[in-house]
Amino acid sequence: MINLPKSVDILESGPRDGIQNEKTFIPTAKKLELIHALSETGLKRIEATSFVSPKHVPQMADATEVYQNMMKKNDIQYLALIPNLRGFELAKKAGVREVALVAGASETFNRNNVRMSVKESLRQLSIVIETAKEEGMFVRFSIATSFYCPYEGLVSQETVLAMVKELEEMQVNEIVLCDTIGRANPKQVYELFSRVLDQGPTATITGHLHDTYGLSKANSLAALHAGISSFDTAIGGLGGCPFAPGAAGNDSTEDFVFMLHEMGIQTGVHFEKLMDCVKLVKSMTKRSLTGHLQQIVNKGHEQTV
């Protein structure tokens, strides 16, 4: 029998992961327009911005302005990515209450991403986690390059499992396994998520999948079979990491929602309103969107949802 959840929780990462790699700076007002439109779709989790160095990620230079000017809904989590202690202080000053932290499972990727070894990252971020938990904040932690590294290749499952165990000991609320360069295959995804769940984590385990090799839907299905019911996606399939050469966009939110609805899995998302957000995103970027649904709609075909 196929093992599938009755409902799936989706975190929309478009406003952060989706546009962080855009070369042309997107005005703050446009970012806010997108966040507000996404807030009307039924999505309950949105990664709104990132308090990173403007030198390294210029697109996120307006993080404080974005976060402080959002019209926040009480039933929606608006997360901000925090790379280090300085980012945490800036986020806290801006009023952030739900933080998203990240470290790579790969040493080379982590050094390129945050200029620290994995051990140094975890040591520094453990201070952030402790402080955030003391202040009643929600703490989410992403393990980048959980499957493959653009510099080192295949990443050992044992390395990821050890990181998950360490993060569990720090009592984070959510742990995200990221296929940062979209190189994983369904067998690997099923095996790693199954092994993580077998450890009996108290944190929510979430999948973050990119579509570089066209495998994001197959990998999503493998994760669903393993027992995962929480996923990150990005509207229009936008995305890509500045520190992961060749990485394509995230799994498209609208395509993922369409697939789930066709399978009878609830998301709480209003599909037509989501497609309106795709149109909005299309006007914000010069890149071609990778989501399949928007291509079908543009050609005049109907979709059943």
Coil, strand or helix: which one is 54? coil
Query: What percent of the chain lies above the pLDDT cut of 90?
Result: 81
CA distance 124 to 234: 28
Domains of the chain, first to last: 9-298 (3.20.20.70)
Phi, psi for residue 160 in degrees, rounded to 5: -70, -45
CB 210 within 8 A of CB 182: yes
> pLDDT for 101-159, tens place per residue?
999 999 999 998 888 999 999 999 999 999 999 999 999 999 999 999 999 999 999 99
**Nearest one of 65, 60, 136, 50 to 97, comparing CA atoms:** 136
DSSP-assigned states of every residue in 105-140: SSHHHHHHHHSS-HHHHHHHHHHHHHHHHHTT-EEE
SS3 sequence of 63-115 = HHHHHHHCCCCCCCEEEEEECCHHHHHHHHHHCCCEEEEEEECCHHHHHHHHC
CA distance 32 to 300: 30
Characterize 133-150 residue by residue with b for buried, 16 or more Cβ atoms within 10 angstroms of its Cβ, and e for exposed.
eeeebbbbbbbbbbbbbb
pTM of the complete model: 0.94
Characterize 248-272 residue by residue with b for buried, 16 or more Cβ atoms within 10 angstroms of its Cβ, and e for exposed.
bbbbbbbbbbbbbeeeebebebebe
Work out the pLDDT band at 198, boundaries 50, 70, 90: very high
Active-site residue identified among 149, 178, 241, 277: 241
pLDDT at 299: 56
The owner of tokens 């993060």 is 167
pLDDT at 290: 77
Phi, psi for residue 67 in degrees, rounded to 5: -65, -40
Work out the pLDDT band at 305, boundaries 50, 70, 90: very low
Look at residue 220 and tell me whether its pLDDT is greater than 50.
Answer: yes
Helices and strands (DSSP H and E) totals, the chain: 11, 10
Active site annotation includes 277: no
What integer best gives the mean pLDDT of the chain? 92
**Nearest one of 218, 206, 213, 130 to 175, comparing CA atoms:** 206
The owner of tokens 């050469």 is 245
**Nearest one of 243, 232, 286 to 53, comparing CA atoms:** 243
Q: 175 - beta bridge partners?
A: 141, 205
Work out the pLDDT band at 301, boundaries 50, 70, 90: very low
Coil, strand or helix: which one is 45? strand
